[in-house]
Amino acid sequence: MKILKTMLNPLRHAFLLFLMIPFSNSFAQNQEMNMSLDKIVETTFHVKDFNVWKPLFMKDSLLRKQNGIQNIVISSQVGQPHKMMNVATVSDVEKARASMKDPAFLERIKMRGVTNPKAEFYQVVRFNPNSKETKWVVMTHKVKDFDAWIVGFDKGKPMRDSAGLIDVVLARNIDDPSMVQVVCDITDMEKAKAFMNSLVLKERMKEAGVISKPSIEYYESRE
């Protein structure tokens, strides 16, 4: 998540010239984000023509900012360039939620070739600002007991390291805190996929209290 690193360093550019925002280069745009991420929204959708959609999306940055939404990542699923995931920081969840349900907004994105939009809001628990890769894996699942699960998750770090995975974001769904999301940078796609599909990982997850089938998706920067 090279984008994360770049966007989470605005203090640098204020002391060295504040950094900028795209997921293809960062996850932060203000001094507070330099320390951590707080609340984020992940929007998934399909787009008919990325090259038509993106410039129009970028033009809406001021409108998003007025609704407390600041985009930090533009990505698409690996192998499916029309399936998008955008990530943004959120200062007011309810205001952001309302803006994304506004009929005028929905009509506007429909006109731009967007279909099947879905937004999920997360509270970030951990964030690694030193991410730099342009491909990452997003795993989402439900846990029985978060405190017990995170102990097992931490014990599994050496295995993730060996698989070329770098922990970037750990977050909990705001509407359902038992739903946990883990984002890891990928340094070796083949090793990462082998690990994510391994029986060892499945056993570790079961032991840690994962109680739903995990969703595992791979994304890459589209900045």
Identity of the amino acid at 175: D
Cα distance between residue 149 and residue 102, in whole Å: 37
Cα distance between residue 145 and residue 76, in whole Å: 31
Residue of 132, 125, 110 lying closest to 46 (CA atoms): 110
pLDDT band at 189 (very low <50, low <70, confident <90, very high): very high
Q: To 10 degrees, the CA torsion angle through 102, 104, 109, 110? A: 110
Residue of 71, 77, 84 lying closest to 22 (CA atoms): 71
Res. 101: pLDDT tops 90: yes
CA–CA distance from 15 to each of 3, 18, 72, 130, 193 (Å)?
20, 7, 21, 18, 40
Write down all domains in the chain, each with its CATH number in brackets: 2-124 (3.30.70.100), 126-221 (3.30.70.100)
Identity of the amino acid at 178: S
Q: Which helix (H) or strand (E) holds 70?
A: strand 69-77
pTM comes to: 0.84
Q: What is the mean predicted confidence (pLDDT) over 87-109? A: 97
Per-residue pLDDT of 8-35, as tens digits, reads 544 434 333 332 333 334 333 333 334 4
- Alpha helices, DSSP H only, in 103-198? 103-111, 146-155, 157-162, 189-196
Average pLDDT, the chain: 88
Per-residue pLDDT of 124-141, as tens digits, reads 999 999 889 999 999 999
Better pLDDT: 61 or 3: 61
Q: What is the per-residue pLDDT for 131?
A: 85
Cβ atoms 119, 88 nearer than 8 A: no
Q: What is the per-residue pLDDT for 29?
A: 37
Residue of 79, 96, 110 lying closest to 87 (CA atoms): 96
Q: What percent of the chain has pLDDT over 90?
A: 82
Residue of 95, 114, 89, 100 lying closest to 30 (CA atoms): 89
